[in-house]
């Protein structure tokens, strides 16, 4: 009796397999990428940073799930589980392939700085948007400080009731318990702008550009003279010698 080969189990969502790496520098990183790997590093408040190598396909799939920098990920480093938060992702400038990932090790009782996406709500109840206004999202992500287990999936920003020219600031948003913004000032998150105001701002710029384009033509017309216009008077200096020459001729004839 034959049995089918056991299938290799895929890591659960939010889990990455990694191995420690000894090589450093651009040469070692290129060699890893040729093997379909991604170099990375795990650092924390205590202990030395650990250089790791991850499978590019697994990292790309985890990144595609969304909220990559705002959720905890379990990393199995040589079989040892480490809970970490992605902090930085570097991409190839042309292909957009992930080239490097930085992780911060989560330590119990230590708050973390995390970027949380913003979710807009209440657009259908905004008088300004109904009148043709435009929703301007100033911050698509906001940095917060909170405990690792209290990281919110997103922050809801309600724009219901906003008129044209209205805005929502961070102090207007009810945040989950234990979550506070990293920036202390009352910054703007979203506004409702009017289309007419935007058009009026554009018109003076267009008018100025048209006036600048017309200026060289006007100078050229002045220099050459408009069609049908009276010719310019001859300079007085050029007329004087001619007059002088005529008088001289008369004197010579008398003699």
Q: What is the pLDDT of residues 25-60, one digit of tens each?
A: 888 899 999 999 999 999 988 788 999 999 999 999
* Residue 236 pLDDT > 60: no
Per-residue confidence (pLDDT) for residue 45, from 0 to 100: 82
The average confidence (pLDDT) of the chain is 80
Q: Are strands 134-137 and 188-193 parallel, antiparallel or unpaired?
A: antiparallel
Residue pair 77/50 in contact by the 8 Å Cβ criterion: yes
Q: How far apart are CA 135 and CA 193, in angstroms?
A: 6
Could you give the CA distance from residue 23 to residue 39 in angstroms, rounded to a whole number?
10
pLDDT for 229? 46
Asked if 101 and 40 count as a contact pair (C-beta separation under 8 A), the reply is yes
Tell me the average pLDDT across 208-223: 50
Contact 101, 59 (CB under 8 A): yes
What is the mean predicted confidence (pLDDT) over 66-95? 93
pLDDT at res. 37: 95
Lowest mean pLDDT segment, chosen from 61-70, 116-125, 157-166, 225-234: 225-234
Q: Is the pLDDT of residue 199 over 90?
A: no
Kindly state the DSSP code that residue 204 receives in the 8-state scheme.
Answer: H
Q: What is the pLDDT of residue 204?
A: 56
Q: Can you give the pLDDT at residue 200?
A: 52
Q: With a cut of 60, say whether residue 255 has pLDDT above it.
A: no
Residue bearing the bigger pLDDT, 158 or 208: 158
Query: Given pLDDT bands bounded at 50, 70 and 90, which one contains residue 74?
Result: very high
Neighbours of 90 (CB within 10 A): 13
């Amino acid at each position: 009796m034959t049995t089918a080969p056991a299938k290799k189990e895929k890591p659960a969502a939010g889990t990455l397999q990694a191995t420690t790496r000894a090589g450093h520098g651009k040469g070692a990183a290129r060699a890893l990428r040729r093997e379909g790997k991604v170099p990375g590093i795990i650092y924390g408040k205590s202990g030395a940073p650990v250089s790791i190598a991850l499978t590019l396909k697994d990292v790309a799939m985890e990144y595609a799930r969304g909220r990559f920098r705002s959720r905890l990920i379990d990393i199995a480093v040589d079989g040892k589980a480490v809970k970490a938060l992605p902090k930085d992702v570097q991409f190839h400038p042309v292909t957009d392939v992930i080239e490097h990932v930085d992780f911060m090790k989560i330590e119990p009782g230590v708050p973390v700085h995390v970027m949380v996406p913003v979710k807009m709500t209440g657009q259908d109840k905004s008088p300004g948007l109904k009148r043709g206004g435009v929703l301007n999202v100033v911050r698509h992500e906001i940095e917060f400080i909170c405990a690792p287990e209290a990281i919110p999936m997103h922050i809801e920003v309600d724009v219901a009731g906003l008129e044209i020219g209205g805005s929502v600031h961070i102090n207007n948003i009810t945040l989950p318990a234990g979550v506070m913004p990293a920036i202390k000032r009352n910054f703007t998150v979203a506004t409702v702008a009017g289309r007419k105001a935007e058009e009026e701002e554009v018109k003076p710029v267009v008018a100025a550009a048209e006036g600048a384009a017309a200026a060289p033509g006007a100078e050229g017309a002045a220099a050459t003279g408009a069609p049908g216009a009276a010719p310019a008077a001859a300079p007085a200096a050029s007329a004087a010698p001619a007059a002088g020459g005529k008088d001289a001729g008369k004197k010579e004839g008398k003699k």
